[in-house]
Amino acid sequence: MVLNRRNFLKTGLSGAAVASIGGAALMGCAPGSKKEAEGKAGGCCQAGEGGCQHSAAALNISFQEGTAPGENLNEKFDYMEKLGVVGFEPGGRGLAGRVDEIKQALDGRTIKVSAICAGFDGFILSTDEAVRKRCMDSMKEIIAAAGELGSVGVIIVPAFNGQKPALPHTQETRDFLCEQFTEMGNFAAEHGTTVIFEPLNRGEAFYLRQVADAASICRDINNPGVRCMGDFWHMTAEETCDMGAFLSAGEYLQHVHVASRRRRSMPGEDGEADCYVAGFKGLKMLGYNKYVSFECGCQGDRNVVLPAAVELLRKQWEKA
């Protein structure tokens, strides 16, 4: 049996003699190997020893494919560059066949591929092995393409509410999930990318709703190819504290989605509700410099509300 944190917890918490597995790994903030090596047992870098950040936080805005106006990628990218948007998040379906197209459209631009949004078949927590296999196989295809594109990772949801029959919500299922994602994570790491757990609100996915939960799973798996994200829309329903959620993600935080907070539209379209400052403060504390990516609809005139949304995020980032 591979001795990893997960196995350790299973044996350790039953009252048996506790083996030393690397102190800092067990407590405090999400440890990276750096913290472990420094023995920062229990201490958040940002909390214990004076706010150490591994990198300077930066707001790197990304759009999904439907966000910007334009008839094709080049038109969209022209628009995005004018707004200073630096990330592009395509869907994963059929990605392998689009690698050249995307590379060509990005050539010479300041925009890079950020995350890949799902697109896999089946789901990993199906009771049906064939359905799980479809998920694993389709994910690997997308992951390989993501690696070619230099993407930060492929977003995945373990089980949507409508996907049944699913394995029951138990420790055994969680352990199984960890095994499956170890395999996926190894593959992703080999391809220079990651897979990214996305917690969703209960209306879409009961199985995984909170960033802290996703982070805990990442820590148990302890694989450089397995990460997590937070989506402000889902966090609106499921998190009591955006800052707490992102801090819990810690070094596992690989991506962020943003939308307005009542109608999942352009940031700002829901007025006073669209405050991301607490979350941004958490991102700054982490030194987060990956992407904040628009996954949202649009109520008003896109050519008006989209620049306004970008401006709002920048203002709130400064304020945070």
* Residues 191 to 230 in contact with its own copies, rule: CB under 8 A: 201-204, 206, 209-213, 215-216, 218-219
Q: Kindly report the backbone phi and psi dihedral angles of residue 170, in degrees, each rounded to the nearest multiple of 5, phi listed first.
A: -135, 175
- Site residues for its own copies, 228-247, by CB under 8 A, read 235-247
28: left (phi over 0), alpha (psi -120 to 50) or beta: left
Q: How far is the CB of 54 from its own copies (least distance, A)?
A: 15
Count the helix, strand and coil residues of the chain and give each as a percent rounded to the nearest 5.
Answer: 45, 10, 45
| Residue 276 makes contact with its own copies by CB under 8 A | yes
288: left (phi over 0), alpha (psi -120 to 50) or beta: beta
Span from 38-46, 90-98, 128-136, 177-185 in contact with its own copies (CB under 8 A)? 38-46
Span from 59-67, 75-83, 103-111, 257-265 in contact with its own copies (CB under 8 A)? 257-265
| Residue 267 makes contact with its own copies by CB under 8 A | no
Binding mask 278-307 for its own copies (x = CB under 8 A): xx-xx-------------------------
- Site residues for its own copies, 40-69, by CB under 8 A, read 40-44, 46-48
Which residue, 97 or 271, has its beta carbon nearer to its own copies?
271
Chosen residue from 106, 146, 249, 296 binding its own copies by CB under 8 A: 249
Q: What angle do CA 292, 295, 301 make, to 5 degrees?
A: 110
| Residue 72 makes contact with its own copies by CB under 8 A | no
Chosen residue from 100, 107, 129, 272 binding its own copies by CB under 8 A: 272
Span from 10-18, 55-63, 75-83, 91-99 in contact with its own copies (CB under 8 A)? 10-18
Q: Where are the beta strands (DSSP E) in 47-132?
A: 60-64, 87-89, 112-113, 115-117
CA atoms within 13 A on the CB side of 226: 22
Sequence letter at residue 12: G
Task: Report the alpha-carbon distance of residue 241 to residue 257 in Å, rounded.
Answer: 16
